[in-house]
Amino acid sequence: MFANISDSNKLMADLADSNVQTKIGQWTIVWSPVIYDHDPKSQVWDNIMCVAKGQNLTTNNPQYVVAIAATNPQSVFDWLQEDVNTHNMVLWSSTNPEQGHISEGTNTG
């Protein structure tokens, strides 16, 4: 599920705002906001993310940031299945998965 157009427009307007730019620099969205909902009928999103591109002020090189709003306080699923579910550990999918473990809740979302 994708974020609705008004949410995307608001995010882009905020990043284009000169007051915001004086604090964080110039950023653009290169991968639009995407919403994860475990239940497509739900009116409450569980997680939302986007990728933004800016300029590293030290190196003057492009810099990419994956921005994740990973906890929605209105989502019961988010709280119980992702945030609180820390008692079981699972292998982390990485270059050395046998060496890394994360909580089952983190793995879920």
Sign of the dihedral defined by the CA atoms of residues 51, 53, 56, 61, in that order: positive
DSSP bridge partners of 48: 35, 69
DSSP bridge partners of 35: 48
Do the strands 47-55 and 62-69 form a parallel or antiparallel pair, or are they unpaired?
Answer: antiparallel
Work out the average pLDDT over 20-38: 83
pLDDT at 82 over 80: no
Q: Phi, psi at residue 105, to the nearest 5°?
A: -65, -40
Q: Tokens 């950023």 identify what position? A: 27
Render pLDDT for 88-101 as a digit per residue (tens, 0 to 9). 888 877 666 667 77
Render pLDDT for 44-79 as a digit per residue (tens, 0 to 9). 777 778 889 998 878 889 999 888 776 777 778 777
d(CA 31, CA 97): 27
